[in-house]
Each structure stands twice: as C-alpha cells, then as structure tokens.
Amino acid sequence: MDKKKTPLTHHYFVDEAGDLNLFNKKGQVLLGKEGVSYFFMVGVALLPNLAEAQRQLEELRRKLLADPYFQGVPSFQPEQKKTALAFHAKNDLPEVRREVFKLLPQLGVKVQVVIRSKPALVREAQALFRYHRRKLKDNDIYDDMVMRLFKNLLHKADRNEIVFARRGTSPRYAALQQAIERAKQNFAAKWGNPGDTPTAINSAFPHQQVGLQVVDYYLWALQRFYERREDRYFNLLAKDFRLIMDLDDKRYKPYGSWYSDSNPLTLDKLAWSFHKAKK
C-alpha cells in the first residue's frame, strides 16, 4: 500500500533594500543626496528547511552573545534591540557579518530579486504627473515588484506561506494579497491555469521570523554590489541567487536584464547600469 504523500509547503520571506525617496517637498529630485539610494530592490528567499535555519542562526547568535570578545559592545545589549535581538546586516559588526556569511550558504536558500533604477522611477513619476496629474506612490511601485517577483514561484508547492517584512505601521494584507493574485493570473495567462495553490500571507518584524534576517543579508550584499560596485559580499552568496531581474537595464531586452546561472551577474555587466544611474 502506497504511503500518502506529505503536502509540500514553501516558506517565502520578502524584504527590501534601498529606499523610494525620489523628490523632496518642493518637487526637487533627491538622487545624489546623502543617504538616498540609486536603486530599490525587493527580494524573496525560499528556505527549504525553516526549522533547521532557525536552529542554526539562533545557535550562532547565542554563541556570539556569549563570546567575551563582544562584551560591552552596544549592539549586543538587549535594550539596543540590534544583534542581541536579531541579525541585521546594516547594524551587525563586521565580525558578526562574517560569521553569518559563513553560515548562510549551508542553508540551501534560494533567492530572487527585482530591481528598479531610481532615475527611471523619477522619469516615470514625472511623466505620470505631467500627463495624468497623478503621483507615483511608493506602495504601487512595491506591489508591482512583488507581483513580478512571485509570477513564476507560486505553482511549485502544494501550499505557500509568505512572510513580508513590515513596511511602516500597516501590514497591508489586502494590497499584498492582490499583488499575489495578479502574479497567479499572469502565470496562468502565459502557461495555462496551474490551479489555485493555497497561499497564506503574513507580515512580521525580523526578530519574529528568522527568514527575514536571512533575506536581509542577501539583499544587503546585492545592494552593496549595485550601489558601491563592491562584489566581495555578493560573491560569497552568488550561487544562491536564482534570478535577479534588473527591470530598467533595457540594453538588450525591453523587459530588462535577467541574471541567473545561464547569465551570471558580474561587475562588468553592471558597469553600464551604475553609470546610467549616476547621470
């Protein structure tokens, strides 16, 4: 007698890197100002064994917290709510980042990222206001990127559980659900109806979901690659990036440049995008 197959659940975790600051209150373009990024990214990490990833990352954090070398370090104090609470690449010390980067490739993570160039978004926003008297809203940009991100992912398991990093004070469940439904519809329109895979959507803070700490590190590495042309962090994790969609690098295709195993992302390929963004 055949054993009943255990339903497969995919656990996805979504975060962003960069910002969507385009204009100041006077309508002046902010690009080039200190603290304003040239790129905005939304990424998703699939963790094939969520429980094991949580165990290993929590074990690493306990080990680091018990290390006398870090005694007295502010980010290790519970009241600071930084490394003592959760890993966060921007806030973690270089010594901590190194340990996390050593661990991540062992977890079998699969990452996909959608990237928008903010100079392109500025032009989009200006045209939208000029011809339609409408503002380009941050949430509209984000939701469109989420839809593109999940277009080819939601049919691969019996059930999907997606956790989004909280953006602001509202979880925005309805809007995110709508973006996911659009992703399903776009896949069905291209490949035929794959069936309505049950998909649960939640939002959380990184200390509540270890998967958000994982995707944060991958996005931080890719952001450094794009913003600073610094590839040493990206190279440590490069094999886990299954697809990177640079929507505004349209030199060869109208839908942008897609990087994967068959077209690996390198600094040489990025050079054009970087200089274009700086203009």
Which domains does the chain carry? Answer: 9-278 (3.30.420.10)
Kindly indicate the confidence band of residue 105, based on its pLDDT and cuts at 50, 70 and 90: very high
Q: What pLDDT, on the 0 to 100 scale, is given for residue 171?
A: 63
Tens of pLDDT, residues 25-70:
988 999 988 889 999 999 999 999 999 999 999 999 999 999 999 9
| pTM, 2 dp | 0.92
Q: What pLDDT, on the 0 to 100 scale, is given for residue 115?
A: 97
Q: What pLDDT, on the 0 to 100 scale, is given for residue 153?
A: 92
pLDDT at 262 over 50: yes
Euclidean distance between CA atoms 277 and 279, whole angstroms: 5
Kindly indicate the confidence band of residue 2, based on its pLDDT and cuts at 50, 70 and 90: low
Mean pLDDT of the chain: 90
Percent of the chain with pLDDT over 70: 92
pLDDT at 1 over 50: no
As a whole number, mean pLDDT of residues 213-242 equals 97
pLDDT at 254 over 60: yes
